[in-house]
């Protein structure tokens, strides 16, 4: 638990959305690191340490796997998957638990892959039975899972899905979109035999947006090395970046494209804070806060978008509006109380719900009381908007 | 000219390489902006202003053109060009004045374009005659020019080349890699009838690495809209980003992929500082400093890699080592004096030269005396290494 102290940050609205989240003073100070050459010994040390610590976030010790941190965004991770692990004409099974699977399928198709979507009803998961049936119908190069769909707050059981894939279709790569899960949900990369987990820094990793972060397994890298043709992206190419990441982690300077020096400093600063306590404690703290928020929301008579018990994200909650309350009315009322929440994102229900992000320092530093303030602001704003709890 | 004052930055080695350059306190403070939602009114205002001010850097007023700032790197700009403006099988004429044209040709080929390189001898430019001959031999979809090749310090005359292209092959798009030129060399986007200029923030724009920045002309966007097939990248797709940039510039929130909020704040902070004085004064200050550095280097008996008078960059100088002095000996001696310079980058001569970057606040704030220190450090280190001036 981070000890509370006077923050160096100017008073600002609390950003309690499913990313970007609030950042610690230390992370923001690292963002302001004075200029450094990207090949200086000082920066090589920082980048190497960040790549090594990233492994810990995934409980990874198998060195055949490689962590990556590249200037970009979570979205860019999809290009890495689509351009390196799927060759044109190959099939991908895309498990759909919200908005982000549609985009990922679009990305795969852009690079010539053939996505097959397996869609859950809004707010629900894709069942293991449905996945097993699909896997038996066709040979898929990859299966993609959105661990937490940021548009719905649905949490998928990647451990069980990975085990099923390995049993039914052992060569199929298991790809996890962990944008809204890495740092808040348990992900045992080696033990669960995953092949690639991609994420972004501005959620539970607690670092400003600007990076594409992922880990690729030895199996995934071997599949890449066995490609019939080169990768179909230049910037999002394993061929370009794998040696760079290997070199930096070995504390050797290397150049393909200038890395975002300050963002990498911030990544290292946050990873050091995160890993200063056991990850199990971090996950438990997030689960407790999530339970509290979900229980409070229920006590207000509101329903979650994610309907199935046990398959609800620990880092965010998507909440249906009560009848008669509109988003453009409610969110500004909450904002006037210094709390920024997010509107809906899933196209079919976008105007009908709002989203609370509960990740990072707002959760782990309870002395900040961010969610006492947020839950009070929601309650007061609902009352103002005419909804009686 | 920025007034000198005590810097908030901790003492650190001066980074005087051709990017990243030294940053102002205001830019670094903006990098540490507390968290903001990427769709908050506050951030929308900042992003919109940054996109509008970017136009001024290119003397652009034609609103059919659009500026872009996207999480990534200068390199990613090549993917945008290759995936949106060149269709598979189409020809690209790549003017080669150093290392970066090889990489750009590689990028174009990755997306199915057919690059034809027109190579200058190391340190020299591609002549207008050679370009005219090439343009008459074949129909090229694009011509690419590295405005300043960071590996050699060769400055190309993009105005004359653009005029030639427009005269000989009017439909051919003129693409400028301005990574090491935007903010230090004059670029009149509208007047010179350019089609796309791409850059990165960590050079003369004076912002930490982490963005792909570019401006595309109305003609380029029309060519994109007339594509036979969709763009061949997902993240580097005009189709995805053009509406986002248009919306932010119109001060409307919009979502495709989370923008790097802090880097955009830093971009706006730097653009405000840059545009607080006439650009002509800024360019003149850089030209004066460049002349002084090049004259001093010559007075030490050293030769530039860029051999042709009038075609030498104003933001960097590439300098051949004297006989008997080795890079791994010289650069650490200079570094021990608190000055970080860069080694060679052009593969054929990499061990034979070093590079000085002279861009941004180190140039415009003369009270910092960064180059008095740097030139003294070079002189002393050469003497220590056994070279008598």
User: Is the model's pLDDT at A362 over the cut of 90?
Assistant: yes
Predicted local distance difference test score (pLDDT) of residue B1: 39
Return the CATH fold of B25-274.
3.40.640
- The yes-or-no verdict on residue B5 having pLDDT over 90 is no
Q: Answer left, alpha or beta for residue A313, where phi above 0 means left and psi between -120 and 50 means alpha.
A: beta
B67, pLDDT greater than 70: yes
pLDDT band, very low/low/confident/very high, at A6 (cuts 50, 70, 90):
low
Count helices and strands (H / E) in chain A: 13, 13
Strand positions, DSSP E, A241-320: 316-320
Q: What is the pLDDT of residue A4?
A: 47
Residue with tokens 């090491």: B180
Q: How confident is the model at residue B2 (pLDDT cuts 50, 70, 90)?
A: very low
Percent of chain A's residues with pLDDT above 90: 95
Tell me if A188 is assigned to a ligand binding site. no
Mean pLDDT of B296-319: 97
Write down the domain spans for chain A: 14-23+278-384, 25-274
- Chain B hits for A259, CB-CB cut-off 8 Å, are 73, 209
Cβ neighbours around A299 below 10 Å, total: 11
Rounded mean pLDDT of chain A?
96
By percentage, how much of chain B surpasses pLDDT 90? 95
The verdict on a CB contact (< 8 Å) between B34 and A21 is: no
Q: Mean pLDDT for chain B?
A: 96
What is the predicted pLDDT for the residue at A159? 98
DSSP-derived secondary structure letter, B72: S
Examine the pLDDT at A7 and tell me if it is beyond 90. Answer: no
Work out the pLDDT band at A358, boundaries 50, 70, 90: very high
Of B19, B32, B37, the CB nearest to A32: B32
Residue of B35, B105, B198 to mutate, testing the A interface (most A Cβ within 10 Å of its Cβ): B35
For B324-341, the pLDDT digits (tens) are 999 999 999 999 999 999
Per-residue pLDDT tens digits for B101-152? 999 999 999 999 999 999 999 999 999 999 999 999 999 999 999 999 999 9
The alpha-carbon gap from A345 to the nearest alpha carbon of chain B, in Å, equals 10
pLDDT 10s digits, A180-222:
999 999 999 999 999 999 999 999 999 999 999 999 999 999 9
Instruction: Give A153-182 pLDDT, tens digit per residue.
Output: 999 999 999 999 999 999 999 999 999 999
pLDDT band at A8 (very low <50, low <70, confident <90, very high): confident
CA separation, residue A207 to residues A21, A37, A200, B70, B153 (Å): 8, 21, 9, 17, 35
| Alpha carbons B83 and B59: distance in angstroms, whole number | 26
Q: Using one digit for the tens of pLDDT, what is the confidence trace for B237-276?
A: 999 999 999 999 999 999 999 999 999 999 999 999 999 9
Residue contact A258–B20, C-beta within 8 A:
yes
Which of B23, B105, B234 has the most A C-beta neighbours within 10 Å, making it the best mutation to test the interface with A?
A: B234
Q: Which of A15, A233, A345 sits opposite B36 (nearest CB)?
A: A15
* Paired sense of beta strands A14-15 and A339-340, if any: parallel
Confidence of residue B205 (pLDDT cuts 50, 70, 90): very high
Out of B35, B110, B231, whose CB is closest to A22?
B35
Chains A–B, number of C-beta pairs less than 8 Å apart: 200
* Closest chain B C-alpha to A167 CA, distance in angstroms: 32
Lookup result for tokens 């189709």: B239
Residue A12 has its nearest CB partner, among B15, B34, B259, at: B34
Sign, Cα dihedral of B104, B106, B108, B113: positive
What's the Cα-to-Cα distance from B61 to each of A111, B189, B195, B204, B240, rounded to whole Å? 35, 9, 14, 21, 24
Q: What integer is the mean pLDDT of A144-151?
A: 97
ipTM of this complex: 0.97
The verdict on a CB contact (< 8 Å) between A257 and B15 is no
pLDDT of residue A1 exceeding 60: no
Residue B340 distance to chain A (closest CA, Å) = 7
Residues A256, B22: C-beta atoms closer than 8 Å: no
Q: How close does chain A come to B106, measured CA to CA in Å?
A: 8
Query: In Å, how far is B38's CA from the nearest CA of chain A?
Result: 7
pLDDT of residue A2: 43
Alpha helix (H) ranges present in A85-213? 99-110, 128-137, 158-168
Assigned CATH topology for domain B14-23+278-384: 3.90.1150
Q: Could you give the C-alpha distances from B290 to B13, B158, B231, B358, in angstroms and in order?
A: 21, 19, 40, 7
Mean pLDDT of A344-369: 96
Q: Look up residue A138 and give its two tokens.
A: 């066709």
pLDDT score of B384 more than 50 = yes
**Whole-number pLDDT of residue A378:** 98
CB within 8 Å: B256 and A75: yes
pLDDT number for residue B389: 85
pLDDT at A3 over 60: no
Query: What's the whole-number mean pLDDT along residues B374-386?
Result: 97
pLDDT of residue B3: 45
Of all residues in chain A, the percent with pLDDT exceeding 70 is 98
In a mutational test of the B interface, the residue from A110, A234, A263 whose CB has the highest number of chain B CBs within 10 Å is A234
- In SS3 terms, B303-352 reads as CECCCCCCCECCCEEEEECCCCCCHHHHHHHHHCCCEECEECCCHHHHHH
Nearest CA among B365, B263, B4, B218 for reference residue B271 = B263
User: What's the whole-number mean pLDDT along residues B284-307?
Assistant: 98
Chain B residues closer than 8 Å to A82 by CB: 234
């Amino acid at each position: 638990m981070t000890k509370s102290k006077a923050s160096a940050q100017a008073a600002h609205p609390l950003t309690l959305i499913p990313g970007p989240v609030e950042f610690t003073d230390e992370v923001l100070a690292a963002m302001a690191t004075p200029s450094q050459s990207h090949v200086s010994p000082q920066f090589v040390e920082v980048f190497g340490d960040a790549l090594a610590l990233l492994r810990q976030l995934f409980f990874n010790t198998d060195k055949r796997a490689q962590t990556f941190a590249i200037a970009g965004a979570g979205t860019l991770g999809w290009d890495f998957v689509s351009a390196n692990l799927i060759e044109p004409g190959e099939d991908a099974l895309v498990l759909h638990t919200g908005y982000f699977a549609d985009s990922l399928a679009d990305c795969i198709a852009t690079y010539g892959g053939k996505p097959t979507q397996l869609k859950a009803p809004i707010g629900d998961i894709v069942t293991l039975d449905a996945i097993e049936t699909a896997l038996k119908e066709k040979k898929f190069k990859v299966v993609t899972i959105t661990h937490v769909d940021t548009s719905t707050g649905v949490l998928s059981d990647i451990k069980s899905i990975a085990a099923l894939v390995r049993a039914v279709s052992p060569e199929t790569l298991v790809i996890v979109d962990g944008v809204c899960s890495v740092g808040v949900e348990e992900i045992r990369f080696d033990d669960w035999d995953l092949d690639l987990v991609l994420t972004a820094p501005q959620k539970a990793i607690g670092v400003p947006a600007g990076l594409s972060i992922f880990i690729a397994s030895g199996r995934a890298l071997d599949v890449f090395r066995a490609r019939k043709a080169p990768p179909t992206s230049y910037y999002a190419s394993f061929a370009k970046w794998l040696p760079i990441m290997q070199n930096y982690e070995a504390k050797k300077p290397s150049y393909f494209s200038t890395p975002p020096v300050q963002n990498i400093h911030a990544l290292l600063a946050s990873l050091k804070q995160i890993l200063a306590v056991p990850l199990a404690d971090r996950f438990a703290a997030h689960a407790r806060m999530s339970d509290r928020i979900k229980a409070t929301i229920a006590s207000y008579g509101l329903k979650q978008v994610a309907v199935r018990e046990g398959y609800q994200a620990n880092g965010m909650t998507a909440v249906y509006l009560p009848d008669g309350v509109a988003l453009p009315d409610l969110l500004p009322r909450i904002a006037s109380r210094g709390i920024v929440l997010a509107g809906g994102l899933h196209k079919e229900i976008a105007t009908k719900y709002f989203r609370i992000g509960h990740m990072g320092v707002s959760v782990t530093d309870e002395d900040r009381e961010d969610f006492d303030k947020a839950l009070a602001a929601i309650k007061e704003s609902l009352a103002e908007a005419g909804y009686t709890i």
